[in-house]
Structure 1
Amino acid sequence: MALYLLFRREKAWQRPRLRLVRADAPTVDGFVTCCGEDVDLVMGMVRAASSQDYPPCSYRVFLLDDAQSPELEDAIQAYNQQKGQQHAQQAVRYLARTKAPGKPHYFKSGNLCFGIEESSKIRPLSEYIGALGVDAIPETDWLRRMVPHLVVDSKMDAIVAGLRHYNLPAGDPLGQDIATPSDITIEHMRDAMGVTNLYGSGYVMRRAALQDIGGWPLAPSAEDLYCGHLLAGAGRGVGFCWDVCQHDLSPGSLDALSKHWR
């Protein structure tokens, strides 16, 4: 790895910045996953996810609530009514799976499997899927900056978004922002080889590529990295968008950090 970076110092291979400008666009299903977080926090993400500068007829938003919160379901219904989203294509869809007692639920990966399966029942089937965590707010042009990378490169099947933390103290005295993918030097190498790590929020991937590796992998944790490794192992390119397209909530304690990575 060190030798690869040494001999590629010129960085001529760094991925260019792209933007989709056409009014028509590939279809995308966006999934917001949550499980017991504060309703206001979740609704902040829902507003951001559903306010994308992307053709409404090509974009659907699903909220996957793994805590089955009646309060959150009511909040989604009220939000749709407030926005005047009468057409099913434009309304945020609330989904909550039933967990059978005694059977493993696989946390976030199980929640995503449920959402992907449910969305596949709604026609037309989207070409791409994207995922957002409740603690990372996307820019309004997140999809316009992400999707073109997959459109122009048929060998790439997933693209990961750069991020910055939005709740760090002035000056970032503990250097927490250094750990973001946008600042990891080795990410340049991974991107050049098409084997970027698939981080848990802000990515977009081809639905067909996910189906070809057997669907979203079930794992109790690190399901995003696992999925990225499966894609790379199957010869599927995973790239990194060097634009900062989302702003993440950094864990404020060791306990919060441990929950963040579960």
Structure 2
Amino acid sequence: MVVTEIGNGEEYDQIQSNFGPVRRFLTRFVFLTAIIPCLLLLWASKIQGEILLALGQDGSLGGVKLYLAWFAFAIEGLWSADAIAASLVKAASLFARYRPRLRLLGDNVPCVDIIIPVCNEKLDIIQDTVRATLNIDYPAHRFRVIVSDDGRNQKLEAWVLQLAADTPNLYYTARVKYGPAGYKAGNLNHAITVSDTLPGGRAELVAGLDADMIPEKRWLRACVAHLIRDPKMGVVCPAQLFYNVPDNDPLNQQSSINWLCMDIIRDHAGLGWNLGSGWVVRREAVDDIGGFPTDCLVEDIYSSMLQMAEGWRSAYLAESLQYGLVPETYAAHVKQFARWVRSPILSCGVICPNDESSTSVELRCLSTSRDISPAN
């Protein structure tokens, strides 16, 4: 299999065009904006502790008031520890090498099962995604597109089956739910199980696209190239861009600070996340963690952290390889944001993994940090 590196200016990319030499240089020093406040916070905590000890010893403060004061002091200490953990992760950018842009060439490529999990999205939106996925630059006999429908939409099923009559690598499935269904993670696991029964058997790689995410033609060749180059690479995920962002983006729905800075910093630390859409994962890495975790709402981030805890590497690609939709109402935006900010607590299992895991110091730091939330 042939993998080549794309040089600057060889292929236009929206993200790369906005991430010039000056930004690349300054990104390396973002950790300073985290470390300096941490040092000031530690200094303030030291002074607060000394004052509380003095007040307790001379009797100026006692009883419930003293206990409450020490409780507040402990909370601030936990906040400091969290900030320090995040700073250690960000400091990795100082000497890290920016991830190269790679492309997989030719027809000698691994098989990929592309899952499009859907659940009651508008039919025309799903249709756009399916058509674009079928039209990617990748040998048609080396990838399958599986529309996994949790909404059991009869119109969608009829449309997919009609299109599949002339497109042999397109499939439709809908699961029967019993008890806790696992939301999107359960849907993904169902589609992976179904893929094992399709002609040709299981594929080496599994990819996922949200129902509203339209991939660029080069998407799969760009992501798979990193998995080919590094046999221990478990998951690769590109940035997400959006084509319906309002003028001036008043709610910051484009999340540029993440795609152009924070996710790059995490990748420098070797802690790139599965960010929910556009990802390509090695099937072996999914099997190692028992499938996508169904006990949380952020199966994407959590699954990639579990895979890293098992010794797999991950990569974030700062490339514009997919375009989707942001919530169109304020209520929908708040609902999405609330789900994101609840995500940090769900990573706690990575802090105390099994004895055979390969959890790194950096991953443990990230597990305890508020920066694990995609809302940050």
Match of 2:283 in 1: 207
Confirm or deny that 1:189 pairs with 2:273.
no
CA spacing shift, 1:38–1:154, aligned 2, 3 Å: same
Confirm or deny that 1:137 pairs with 2:227.
no
TM-superposed deviation, 1:3: 5.4
The residue type equivalent to 1:144 in the other structure is R
Distance in 1 (CA, whole Å) between partners of 2:92 and 2:301 is: 27
Gaps of 5+ in 2: 1-85, 341-376
Confirm or deny that 1:219 pairs with 2:295.
yes
Distance in 2 (CA, whole Å) between partners of 1:204 and 1:32 is: 12
Q: TM-score, normalised by structure 2?
A: 0.63
| 1:154 aligned to which of 231, 236, 256 | 231
* Misfit runs of 4+, over 6 Å: none
Instruction: Say what the alpha-carbon RMSD is for the aligned residues.
Output: 2.0
TM-superposed deviation, 1:10: 5.9
| 1:55 aligned to which of 129, 139, 148 | 139
Distance in 1 (CA, whole Å) between partners of 2:331 and 2:133 is: 27
Cα offsets for 1:232-253 (capped at 9, x unmatched): 1112111111211111211122
The residue type equivalent to 1:195 in the other structure is L
Q: Give the percent of matched residue pairs that are identical in Structure 1 and Structure 2.
A: 33
Match of 1:95 in 2: 173
The residue type equivalent to 2:218 in the other structure is D
Distance in 2 (CA, whole Å) between partners of 1:7 and 1:200 is: 24
| 2:253 aligned to which of 176, 182, 191 | 176
| 1:2 aligned to which of 69, 87, 90 | 87
The structure with the greater share of residues assigned to helix is 2
Gaps of 5+ in 1: none
CA spacing shift, 1:104–1:180, aligned 2, 3 Å: farther
CA spacing shift, 1:6–1:98, aligned 2, 3 Å: closer
Q: TM-score, normalised by structure 1?
A: 0.89
Confirm or deny that 1:16 pairs with 2:16.
no
Cα offsets for 1:107-156 (capped at 9, x unmatched): 11111111011111233321100000012111111101110001001121
CA spacing shift, 1:30–1:78, aligned 2, 3 Å: same
TM-superposed deviation, 1:193: 2.7
Question: How many residues were matched structurally?
Answer: 252
Match of 2:115 in 1: 31
Match of 1:124 in 2: 201
The residue type equivalent to 1:64 in the other structure is S
Distance in 2 (CA, whole Å) between partners of 1:49 and 1:180 is: 28
Kept after mapping to 1: 8 A contact 2:93/2:269: no
Kept after mapping to 1: 8 A contact 2:148/2:191: yes
CA spacing shift, 1:125–1:180, aligned 2, 3 Å: farther
TM-superposed deviation, 1:158: 0.5
Confirm or deny that 1:249 pairs with 2:325.
yes
Match of 1:109 in 2: 185
Structure of greater Rg: 2
CA spacing shift, 1:56–1:112, aligned 2, 3 Å: same
Kept after mapping to 2: 8 A contact 1:194/1:232: no
TM-superposed deviation, 1:179: 4.7
The residue type equivalent to 1:69 in the other structure is N
SS of the residue aligned with 1:176?
coil
Distance in 2 (CA, whole Å) between partners of 1:5 and 1:68 is: 44
SS of the residue aligned with 1:244?
coil
Distance in 1 (CA, whole Å) between partners of 2:181 and 2:90 is: 41
TM-superposed deviation, 1:188: 2.3
CA spacing shift, 1:7–1:191, aligned 2, 3 Å: closer
Distance in 1 (CA, whole Å) between partners of 2:187 and 2:92 is: 42
Distance in 2 (CA, whole Å) between partners of 1:23 and 1:59 is: 12
| 1:235 aligned to which of 307, 311, 314 | 311
Kept after mapping to 1: 8 A contact 2:92/2:269: no
The structure with the greater share of residues assigned to strand is 1
